[in-house]
Amino acid sequence: MAFTLKLPAALRKAGWKVKIRDKERREPPHVTILRRTDAWRVNLRTGNFMDASPDPSAVPDEVVNHMRSHWERLCRKWDEMYPDNPMKNDD
Amino acid sequence: MAMVTQDATFDLDVFLLDRAKKRPASFAALRPHVVSTLGDVRDSVAHASRDSLWISYANDLTDALMRSLSAGSSALGLGLFVHPLDTKSIPALSAAFRRIAFTADGGFIPADELAEVLRAENRADLFVGGIVNQGTETITFWRGDLQSLTVPFSAFEESGDGTVPDFTSFAVVDFGQTVRLGEYEAAVDAILYEFDRAYRRKIKKERHGTEQSFGASVRRLRKQRGLRREDFEPELSAKTIARIEQGKVKRIHPSTLDVLCDRLSVAADEIRSY
């Protein structure tokens, strides 16, 4: 089942979402921040934004901090959903 | 706060065929001509160009549009028919419009999201709706530029946690960025990456350095298919796959390439596009 990280009400109201969906581009493990027609992928192994566009600085610190405070949970969810491409995998 | 990526140069002349009182407000940013009477339809067709976008929520107004077209108007631009469309209308509409999108059972995103996707700069990479065909086990998606993309049910593999897609419960959500099939969700970018070579080329262009090598493409494709290196045995050992992915094999033997293509379900000239 797709995982949606519950964000504080103000961020939800502003349209922010943080998700791991059942079908994602698998490499590397990542979480997706969504707002309206834009999306930002964040690498779960490194914590870095994966794409230069849209501009990562457009994501408010509150979203990034909330996501980082639930990092272990997000990593666990990824492993549950993508056991064939787990977080700890160097092949 | 993030800026929504929108096309400042959106210059299609928009005609909204609709009688709902509140819905036109959702499309305000597109500055539509709201067409709500049969007479308005005739006038609009007479003045429309190939750079027009027609969005219809009303069956009878679409019928009036077709009657006006058969009276000998010039070709129109894009047509998006949100109401259920009689399949007998499709040939005539296809002939009159450069591109059309339609549904059988309300498979489009809500009006406010639709308006935003249609004017987004990245609209071609977002879905506005789709049609599920249980008979052929395919879903045809409509992109924001009204191009279509047909994908087999088999593209939606069971999630690692056991969630399976429910093809009787279809919706496009998240402003065209997610396909929902019951409790199962698929990222639109993952679907495009798998089924649209031009999209893969665009993504690949944005990558840097060694990630663009043949080996990196093999690795990404193997991950996308959910395969382990051991899954290429006995023809190719896990060690050989690792060497290919790490760029240590300078020349791939044709028989090796055959095995890669077979296990990765891809044509040889497609591998580098991943």
The answer to whether B13 contacts chain A (CB < 8 Å) is: no
Q: Give Cβ neighbours of residue A10 (< 8 Å, ≥ 6 apart).
A: A62
Residue A9's pLDDT is: 97
Of the listed ranges A53-57, A74-78, A85-89, B115-119, the least confidently predicted one is A85-89
| CB contact (8 A) between residue B161 and residue A54 | no
Q: Is residue A37 part of a domain?
A: yes
Q: Is any Cβ of chain A less than 8 angstroms from the Cβ of B175? A: yes
**Which of A14, A22, A38 is facing B184, going by the closest CB pair?**
A22
- Nearest-angstrom CA–CA distance, B52 and B64: 17
Give pLDDT < 70 ranges for chain B: 1-9, 70-74, 207-211
Supply the pLDDT for residue B202.
Answer: 87
User: Within a domain: residue A88?
Assistant: no
Chain A residues in contact with B219 by the CB 8 A cut-off are: 27
CA atoms within 13 A on the CB side of B85: 26
pLDDT of residue B1: 37
Chain B partners of A26 at a C-beta cutoff of 8 Å? 223-224, 226
Residues ≥6 apart with Cβ < 8 Å to B131: B102, B103, B104, B105, B107, B139, B140
Mean of the per-residue pLDDT values of chain A: 94
In chain B, residues with a C-beta closer than 8 Å to the C-beta of A53 are 206
Domain carrying residue A14: 3-81
Q: For residue A18, which residues of chain B lie inside 8 Å, CB to CB?
A: none
How close, in Å, is residue A22 to chain B by CA atoms? 5
B-chain residue closest to A83, CA distance: B160
Number of domains in chain A: 1
As a whole number of angstroms, the distance between CA B220 and CA B223 comes to 5
pLDDT of residue B4: 42
Does B161 sit within 8 Å of A24, measured CB to CB? no
Of the candidates A19, A25, A84, which has its C-beta nearest B226's C-beta?
A: A84
Chain A partners of B7 at a C-beta cutoff of 8 Å?
A: none
pLDDT at A91: 67
